[in-house]
Amino acid sequence: MTHDIMDFIEYIHNEKQTSKNTEVSYERDLRKMNEYLEAQNVYGVSAVTETNLNAYVMF
């Protein structure tokens, strides 16, 4: 999922012209969520469910 995160950061940089601070914050938050999901044996964007996301928010 790391590749997907970097693709997203590149997208917001190029298309939305976000600030560096925004990009760093999004990347940090997405990497933390990715670590949580991998610890739950969830790998890849297509494997993430609404339940996974709700559990992460409650974490």
Amino acid in position 27: E
Phi and psi dihedrals of 19, rounded to 5? -75, 160
Quote the pLDDT of residue 9.
Answer: 98
Rounded to whole angstroms, the Cα distance separating 35 from 56 reads: 10
Confidence of residue 28 (pLDDT cuts 50, 70, 90): very high
Rounded to whole angstroms, the Cα distance separating 59 from 57 reads: 5
What digits encode the pLDDT tens for the residues 14-24? Answer: 999 999 999 99
